[in-house]
Amino acid sequence: MKIYTGTGDKGKTSLFSGERVSKASDRIEAYGDLDELNSVLGALIAHLPSDRSDLVGELQQIQADMFVIGAWLATTANSPAAGSLAPIEVKQIVFLENAIDRLDDLLPDLKNFILPGGHISAAWAHVARSICRRTERHAVLVLEESDDEETAKELTRALIYLNRLSDYLFVLARECNRLHGLSDIPWKKS
Amino acid sequence: MTTGEKDYATEIIEQRWISKKTFEIRLRRPETFNFRPGQRISLKYENFERDYSLASSPDETHLTLCIRHVEGGQLSRVLGDAAKGARFSFCGPHGYFTFKPSQRPAVLVASGTGIAPFRSMVRSGLTPEFLLHGVATSAELYYAEELKAASGTYIPCLSQPSKSQTHFAGRVTDYLPRHLPPANYDFYLCGRREMIRDVTLLVDELFEESFIYTETFY
């Protein structure tokens, strides 16, 4: 099966809601960021300890959620295509909040800023966290352009989800170091 | 992705060739199976699995598939030879290639068996402003009569026309720039990858503010 379509060769792409838009638009930036984030989550998963299938499962659930959020980012306001999309549910945000609390309980209190890094899995978690922040910034632009209630409601949930996700990835980075017997590297003012 | 989905058991009620290279099969419709016009099912047989768009409407008691016999194609060969009563399983429905009502006129463009989801839509009551069917010869216009009756403008486009035929001689990509009045449309494209690419690029150029929904047959 050939996977290339050739329909984007002149710089445009199709949204889920049917419009043809420039690949340089904010909306495409936003779900492109999300795609990048999902790939980096894959790299992070590949570096997790083999006996932590619980964390792998958690991250794969997040990867699946990325597709739902991506579909909303690819759908313009007032589109009938929105009727085909799964909603972003509060329970998906609660899932992240519970995971943050669980990991945070395992970690020593943080007294300084820390440098991103340590074990390779922690380093990937920090890369994912910073891409998540960028995704959030671009998603805000998309939300600001949305003028119907339903789409705005879903995008607002997407923003909350992304905001929690970056916090989750921060504590997960620290947990990855802890799992490998490494301490966080404190920031020292030079 | 089909993992974890419910499998439905079905069997062939009828199989008939509707052109030299294309056949239609009717499957028993499981009572609990529902779908929207334009959606697909994944038909399974032994280790093979392939997606087919449904050509019947959700109001019908059976499921119709319109299948092109592919030389070397594993499942199309099995289905082409299958007898009444042959059992299969399937999962679904899949896909988002459903009709989205809007203020813009709808232009449905199919190549070959890509007509299947449009037939489902039309049998469900849709009356599109334009319905183009691109095929090689008039012998492949298997649903011409019923589509002609249902669509505002049904336009067969023949890439290998005979001298005596009266249909448009040329591909759908020849028809659109010459005859579709300038406007913004909702294009629904279904069929071969090459057709979808060529029509999409043409829409970008000539019908710039139009919307495009696609379903690619591989």
> What does the pLDDT read at residue A190?
77
> What does the pLDDT read at residue B3?
57
Option in A1, A7, A84 nearest B197 (CB): A7
Label residue B162 exposed, middle or buried (CB < 10 Å: 0-12, 13-18, 19+).
exposed
Q: Which carries the bigger pLDDT value, residue A143 or residue A4?
A: A143
Residue entry with tokens 């037939």: B119
> What does the pLDDT read at residue B151?
75
CATH code of domain B8-94: 2.40.30.10
> What does the pLDDT read at residue A178?
96
Class of domain A24-74+86-186: mainly alpha
Closest chain B C-alpha to A12 CA, distance in angstroms: 8
Residue B1 has pLDDT above 60, yes or no: no
Option in B197, B204, B212 nearest A18 (CB): B212
The answer to whether residues B139 and B115 touch, using CB atoms and an 8 Å cutoff, is no
Axis-axis angle for helices A53-73, A26-46 (nearest 10): 170
Phi and psi dihedrals of B13, rounded to 5? -90, -40
- Asked whether the beta carbons of residue A5 and residue B100 sit closer than 8 angstroms, the reply is no
Option in A5, A10, A84 nearest B216 (CB): A5
Residue B86, token pair as written in the block: 């042959």
Residue B70, token pair as written in the block: 């592919």
Residues of chain A contacting residue B201, judged by C-beta atoms under 8 Å apart: 6-7, 9-10
Pairing type for strands B106-111 and B168-169 reads unpaired
Q: Which of B212, B215, B218 to mutate to test the interface with A (most CBs of A within 10 A)?
A: B212
Q: Where in chain B is the domain with CATH 3.40.50.80?
A: 106-217
**Mean pLDDT within B191-213:** 96
Spatial separation of the C-alpha atoms in residues B174 and A163, rounded to whole Å: 50
Residues of chain A contacting residue B103, judged by C-beta atoms under 8 Å apart: none
Cis check: omega of the bond before A108, within 30 degrees of 0: no
Option in A5, A6, A18 nearest B211 (CB): A18
Question: How many distinct helices (H) and strands (E) make up chain B?
Answer: 5, 12
Class of domain B106-217: alpha beta
The answer to whether residues B122 and B151 touch, using CB atoms and an 8 Å cutoff, is yes
Phi and psi dihedrals of A155, rounded to 5? -70, -35
- Asked whether the beta carbons of residue B216 and residue A6 sit closer than 8 angstroms, the reply is no
